[in-house]
Structure 1
Amino acid sequence: MKLTVVGGGSTYTPELVDGFARLRDTLPVEELVLVDPAADRLEPVGGLARRIFARQGHPGRIVTTSDLDAGVDGADAVLLQLRVGGQAAREQDETWPLECGCIGQETTGAGGLAKALRTVPVVLDIAERVRRTNPRAWIIDFTNPVGIVTRALLQAGHRAVGLCNVAIGFQRKFAALLGTAPADVHLGHVGLNHLTWETGVRLGGPEGEDVLPKLLTEHGEAIADDVRLPRTLLDRLGVVPSYYLRYYYAHDEVVRELRTKPSRASEVAAMERELLAMYGDPALDEKPALLARRGGAYYSEAAVDLAAALLGGGGSPYQVVNTLNRGTLPFLPDDAVVEVQAAVGPAGPVPLPVPALDPLFTGLVANVTGYEELALEAALRGGRDRVFRALLAHPLIGQYAYADALTDQLIAHNREHLAWA
């Protein structure tokens, strides 16, 4: 089995490699190819990856290359984890929207749109090159904004599934609170990427006992602290919103916070410099503790589980993925991409039935789905008016004066990445 990671020079990669090494019985990788144009990152990451495999006795071969076509040739699955423009572009995404009093964030609001415009054309080019060499390869997208990128891939006819680590994070935390194995926790996870709620927590499978009320009663404070929302709000909602709902439910509070502290991008950039220096140490043969602060917790477990299921070698029978709606949420178009529990196998994911959602949630999901459709149109076709329409549609913006100003800012800060600008 050959797996290729595009963006293999990412500081995330040792987390992924550690998972491949530990879970080799689930996903027996014979060749792992790390593709990245940045040699200064790829060399130390590749060296550490080989040492991790050696330390854990993994017999697989690790190859590093800057040649995308060679790297994806013959791959059974290709994982995408790239960041067009690097942390410098992320720094801009997180700062210029604040000038209009709007959230500055890399996947939500104006910053999220900027990232989508930079990313979608690059990902589609990669996917076409994968299709030329191996049209049966699965593409697993971890590149944000996952919902929009996955929709672009599926709309272009690629065998693609989107992956996010929010759900597996909740699964692991709830399992710890309940004192049970993560595999016994089945989430009622529903919504869009970075716009989801846990509407149930069942033990043993989709038909098991729903223990979400017990979790909220006995552990509500801990859960509220984790998602940084008030315990009283969780009790009133009766569900657990993802951390990203804070940008909607406490928008003005978050804007005030973001204006008074260093950006997350600057923190991550400093962390990455330190991590890359560590990775270059030939004595290091395991992922360092600092990597846990980088983000992407449990990414490797989720990626192994998904790849194993898609390639027919195992994996959990039910997994939270980003895939076509196809009637799962009846108030959305069939070609929208939703993030829900699905049965996953070699034919791809099949979403499980979802109970009717409270109108409190359906309105926001429908609104953001409309924005994502317009965002994808802007990413594919370009043009100031299309960018403006997407920004005007976003529920965190929604005023024409803000949308106009943010359109100009977005184009000015991303001109080098926009072929039409």
Structure 2
Amino acid sequence: MEGLKIAVIGGGSNYTPELLEGFIKRADELPVREIYLVDIEDGKEKLDIVGNLAKRMVEKSGLDIDVKLTLDRREAIKDANFVSTQFRVGGLEARSRDERIPLKYEVLGQETTGAGGFAKAMRTIPVIMDICKDIEELAPDAWLINFTNPAGLITEAILKHTNVKTIGLCNVPIGMVKMVAKILEVDSDRVKMDFVGLNHLVWGKCAYLDGKDVTMKVIDKLADGAELTMKNIPDLNWDKDLLESLKMIPCPYHRYYYMTDDLVADEIEAANSDKGTRAEQVMGIEKQLFEVYDDPELDIKPPQLEQRGGAYYSDAAVSLISAIYNDKKEVHTVNVRNNGTIKGLPDDVSIEVNALVDSTGAHPITVGKLPPTIYGLIQSVKAYEELSVEAGVSGDYGLSLQALALHPLIPSVKVAKGLLDEIIEQNRDYLPQFSNKA
């Protein structure tokens, strides 16, 4: 093979410099020949700005990589070896609606969790299905690395409804490893963690420092106020008794389930103030980022990017691609088909666990039976995801209502119905599957 062709769907994303940095850093193990950054017409200005920065980064590196900018998705996908998806249907304006609509009902408004995550999934599933049709036709041997949120739910839709080879990816597990290393005041390469759960609902089952189990030591430090969160999640302190009885390390998103009342109050207060919702805060961050990106002298990933919630994306994504391409047989935390990995969940659903990655894909490491401390929550959210996948594909109103009514963060059918009707009404332009329904 002369070199690899990479197609990045959502190439105008402000995360793209992270991805380019990852390919540049791993040039000795990934012979990338072409990187196609593809976006839609509405994203052309951002694509040009990010794409030109990407070209400057490559030029500075001295590598022979051809960065191409295009609005032609099929051109980008044709004969690609790897396709990366990192797009946001409806942009940050749609995310803002996803966050504000639920707050009217005094329930959580968040882009990947609960009603907001449902709305985003409904907009995203029709688009990812079309992308997969292109991959099946134009690059049937390509691997799709899905970073588009809600990553686990979208990965499950791909696994169930297409023939595309796919692995879902999230930066939360790698971020947790780095945060645990910071808590222990050690280099992150000395820390390993066993992960189990679903995307944005994953627990660190065990944490190891140089091979020694230090899970309870980390839990003790978290109970004493050590930080383990992300830029997009308020850093509320964990309850000491909860952590000590859980005997596992919760991911930052667990705050939405374990501290729901505090988080909803925090979101309502922010939304009603000059601070605004997280989407509205990110709009300001993104505007500043693109002003920085547009500097013709800039030829590196700027440090301001870490103010977004997607830090470590390049480490996670490019490391995974390298593990597949180089048949590394190394462990990554990914979203894959269950196939009996977690006992009690259907075989065909997506889970987030450690997996051995080689040239044939990701092979999840068996977990077995889960303790009741986490099993019930996983089952409930997974049932919501299963219903949401089918609702997103079919546009079935009843399945949508069942999905929302089942979600543990939505208190009643009355609230679920109100949320669903408003989500459909405010997203009509992005929900072809719901046309002439409801």
Task: Check whether TM > 0.5.
Answer: yes
1:83 and 1:119 in contact (8 A); partners too: yes
Give the percent of matched residue pairs that are identical in Structure 1 and Structure 2.
41
Mapped pair 1:195 → 2:195: no
Q: Deviations over 1:201-252 (max 9, x none)?
A: 1245xxx431212222356435455363425132232211111111111111
Pick from 369, 375, 392: which aligns with 1:379? 392
- Cα distance in 1 for residues equivalent to 2:330 and 2:209: 14
- Cα distance in 1 for residues equivalent to 2:20 and 2:208: 31
Q: Secondary structure at the match of 2:427?
A: helix
Q: 2:273 corresponds to which residue?
A: none
Q: What is the one-letter code of the residue matched to 1:335?
A: D
Mapped pair 1:339 → 2:347: no
Q: Secondary structure at the match of 2:334?
A: strand
Matches within 5 A, 1:223-234: 223-224=226-227, 226=229, 228-232=236-240, 233-234=242-243
- Cα distance in 1 for residues equivalent to 2:138 and 2:189: 36
- Cα distance in 2 for residues equivalent to 1:28 and 1:222: 44
Q: Deviations over 1:297-354 (max 9, x none)?
A: 111000011111122364x700000000011111100011100000011111111122
- Cα distance in 2 for residues equivalent to 1:317 and 1:180: 22
Q: 2:178 corresponds to which residue?
A: 172
Q: What is the one-letter code of the residue matched to 1:133?
A: L
Pick from 284, 290, 293: which aligns with 1:270? 284
Describe the shift of the 1:222–1:32 C-alpha distance in structure 2 as closer, same or farther (beyond 3 A): farther
Q: Secondary structure at the match of 2:32?
A: coil
Mapped pair 1:119 → 2:128: no
Q: Secondary structure at the match of 1:105?
A: coil
2:305 and 2:311 in contact (8 A); partners too: no
Q: 1:367 corresponds to which residue?
A: 380
Cα displacement (A) at 1:389: 1.1
Q: Secondary structure at the match of 1:282?
A: coil
- Cα distance in 2 for residues equivalent to 1:42 and 1:29: 20
TM-score, normalising length: structure 2: 0.92
Q: Which runs of 5+ in 1 are unaligned?
A: none
Q: 2:265 corresponds to which residue?
A: 256
Mapped pair 1:307 → 2:307: no
Q: What is the one-letter code of the residue matched to 2:301?
A: K
1:82 and 1:143 in contact (8 A); partners too: yes
Q: What is the one-letter code of the residue matched to 2:267?
A: L
Pick from 266, 273, 294: which aligns with 2:308? 294
Describe the shift of the 1:259–1:398 C-alpha distance in structure 2 as closer, same or farther (beyond 3 A): closer
Q: Which runs of 5+ in 2 are unaligned?
A: 230-234, 271-275
Q: 2:253 corresponds to which residue?
A: 244
Q: Secondary structure at the match of 1:197?
A: strand
TM-score, normalising length: structure 1: 0.95
Q: 1:68 corresponds to which residue?
A: 73
- Cα distance in 1 for residues equivalent to 2:184 and 2:290: 37
1:76 and 1:138 in contact (8 A); partners too: yes
Q: Secondary structure at the match of 1:260?
A: helix
1:26 and 1:305 in contact (8 A); partners too: no
- Cα distance in 2 for residues equivalent to 1:295 and 1:93: 17
Describe the shift of the 1:342–1:313 C-alpha distance in structure 2 as closer, same or farther (beyond 3 A): closer
Q: What is the one-letter code of the residue matched to 2:36?
A: V
